[in-house]
Amino acid sequence: MRYIFKTHHRQDLQLFRDGFEASWFLLLGAALLVAPFVLGNYALSLLSFIFIYSIVGFGLMLLTGFTGQMSLGHAAFFAVGAYTEAVLQARGWPFVASAPSAILLAAAAGIVIGLPALRLTGIYLAIATMSFNFIVEEALARWESVTGGNAGMAVPRIKLVTESLPAGVPMYMLCLVCVVAVGLVVRNLLRSPSGRAFIAIRDSEVSAQSMGVNLAYYKTRSFAISAGITGLAGALYAHQIKFLGPDQFTLLVSVEFLMMVVIGGMGSLHGAVLGAVFMIGLPELISRVKVLLPSAIADQTGLNAVVFGVLTVLFVLFEPLGLFGRWVKIRTWFSLFPAYRKGMFKRQKSYAKSERLA
Amino acid sequence: MELVQVAFSGIAIGCIYGLVALGFVLIYKATEVVNFAQGDVMMVGGFVAYTFFSIWHLPFGLAVLATVAVLATCGALFERFVLRHILGQPAFAAVMVTIGTGYALRGLVTMVPGWGTETRLLKMPFSEALLRGGGVSIAMDHIAIIVTTAVLCASLYLLFKKTRVGIAMQAASQNQLAAFYVGIPVQVMHTLIWGIAAGIAAVAGILLAPITFVHNNMGLIALNAFPAAVVGGFGSIPGALVGGLIIGVVESMAGYLLPEGFKAIAPHVVVLLVLIVKPSGIFSAMRRKKV
């Protein structure tokens, strides 16, 4: 275990803890920049999807993992972003104008759903966002003049400023730029006064309020930012998938997003990315392993759902900090070797905290 | 006359919502966990009943009883061996466990031989019969739903008011710590409540089967039961039923009177309105916690 001896306040503002950490991130960045020249088209599109899901993960993590507000409606924000982008690009808007519009529109939707959320906590909020998801999904299916209804709509090739980009490497690079930008924004946001207010609200609304945090303002803010980020992911998703239909934005998608951040690790940005890798990687892994399995198991359509559902349950039961928590434990084991104790990360037992009076 | 018929089918489907909502509310009151898998438990109930009745050809009454028994046992075991581990963790953990379970169940039923992804027909002995009178014809299935719901609610009422174990459950859900101090085995009560809720879900699944058929996404219908529970005020047992009826009738009326598409979103518009206007629901049992 290395201890950082801080001698200057600038060290607190640094993006990375120390040079060691920075070099790992640089290595990752370099690998991702080289990837398009090494990997095939399929692997590249998988990586692009991982980036897009990571952006969703950042957005949802901000809301659920850091502000403590559960949302079962993120597929709706995702849909707002995707459809806005698709419609505007079809009218000839460039990405530099249509993506901000998608972000703003999704953020506006976030504010709308955030307003009743101010009076709601826990389960009520989950139900309100769930209902919102249903309404958006139905609106997409019925507003045929704009969204193409259940038949769906094709998304034109992405136009960044003036020229339309070919799919593949440029799209990959755009996703990479977006995920790095969003990651930096969220990381900086979390150490700003807003971010600290979010975390205070998550840990205890009552104490946050008594410390002077305006709950209404910060909850709406968190919703808006989270929805906006998800809208950006939706805009990229529209171009990556090339065809949009209402069935891509159902409640189950919202549930999958939530599973993604839970499996990745609640309350850490690394967790959002790990969750995205897991979410895209696991179906891929399953389809690879399927070939080796007897056909009685391999031909089952429900296999992915079962694996995801069971893994979510197992993670909540045995590894509540998710993949990132597991990684932290492994890292600690090595850095403390041989002094690691079994109970180091044990959860404290507590009495059930009641939301009810009496 | 047509309006009466629409209202009647709304009441029937509302009873289903009410039954599922009853399951949420029982569990929420007792354990402060919201069971997002209730609809999927209902779906499994439909499949189990299908197996007993249509594949194994058990007599109808026996098939129903066996289904309820199997599901209640599964519900109780789930509480004992899964949820018991996260007792005392934040509510979010338990919610994620139920969401994950529901998600897994939906995939799992497609893997069971004989169930699969196809839509199955569960044929009741009284299906296809119609009750006619005064220009209105009502399906026996709907009447069966309403009668069963009424009987079930009456027996639950008696259970909670008159029996020793029912009163102990009430005590455990009103104040866990105090109930524990007076010697009520709170954890056993939790297990029992989960068993009862799963049993109710099984009944709802059997009742719903003739209307929507049995398939692996049947549980999604139960998502309308959340609005029902909220409208009734989460945590109130009569509220859950009344909420279910309101949602059912509103939904049917919206389908009849409003343009296409409104039927699906009507329950959700209602719940958002209720949450904005009166978040505690009509029969509010919840108040804001004081410090």
pLDDT, tens digit, 9 for 90 and up, residues B194-203:
999 999 999 9
The string of pLDDT tens digits covering residues A109-152 is 999 888 776 677 777 888 888 899 999 998 998 888 888 888 88
How many whole angstroms separate alpha carbon B211 and alpha carbon B115?
18
Q: Please judge whether B265 and A251 are an interchain contact, meaning their C-beta atoms are less than 8 angstroms apart.
A: no
User: What's the whole-number mean pLDDT along residues B71-98?
Assistant: 87
Note whether A206 contacts B291, CB cutoff 8 Å: yes
Residue B291: the pLDDT is 45
Indicate whether A358 pLDDT > 50.
no
What pLDDT, on a 0 to 100 scale, did the predictor assign at position A348? 64
Strands A243-244 and A153-154: antiparallel
Distance (Å, whole) CA A148 – CA A245: 8
- The interface residues of chain A toward chain B in range 96-115, judged by CB-CB distance below 8 A, are 115
In angstroms, rounded to a whole number, what is the distance separating the alpha carbons of residues A26 and A24?
Answer: 5
- How many Å lie between the alpha carbon of B101 and the closest alpha carbon of chain A? 6
pLDDT digits (tens, 9 = 90+) for A54-101: 999 999 999 999 998 888 999 999 999 999 999 999 888 898 999 999
Global pTM? 0.89
- pLDDT for residue A299: 66
Window 182-211 of B: residues touching A by CB (8 A cutoff) are: none
**Mutate which: B79, B99, B105, vs A, most A CBs within 10 A:** B99
Which amino acid makes up residue B243? Answer: G
Give which of A313, A319, A350, A353 to mutate to test B binding, by max B Cβ within 10 Å.
A313
Does residue A1 register a pLDDT over 50?
yes
Percent of chain A at pLDDT > 70 equals 94
- Closest by alpha carbon to A312, among A298, A301, A325, A323? A323
Residue A354 and residue A61: Cα distance in Å, rounded? Answer: 24
Q: Is residue A162 very low, low, confident or very high in pLDDT (cuts 50, 70, 90)?
A: confident
- Convert the pLDDT of each residue in A262-302 to its tens digit: 999 888 899 999 999 999 999 888 888 878 877 766 667 77
Cβ–Cβ below 8 Å for A347 and B89: yes
- Domain ranges in chain A are 21-249
What CA–CA distance (Å, rounded) separates A279 from B206?
35
Task: Out of A157-161, A351-355, B43-47, B192-196, pick the least confident.
Answer: A351-355
CA distance B135 to chain A (A): 35
Contacts (Cβ under 8 Å, ≥6 apart) of A266: A61, A64, A65, A320, A321, A322
Residue A329: what residue type? K
Q: How many of the other CB atoms lie within 10 Å of CB of B87?
A: 18
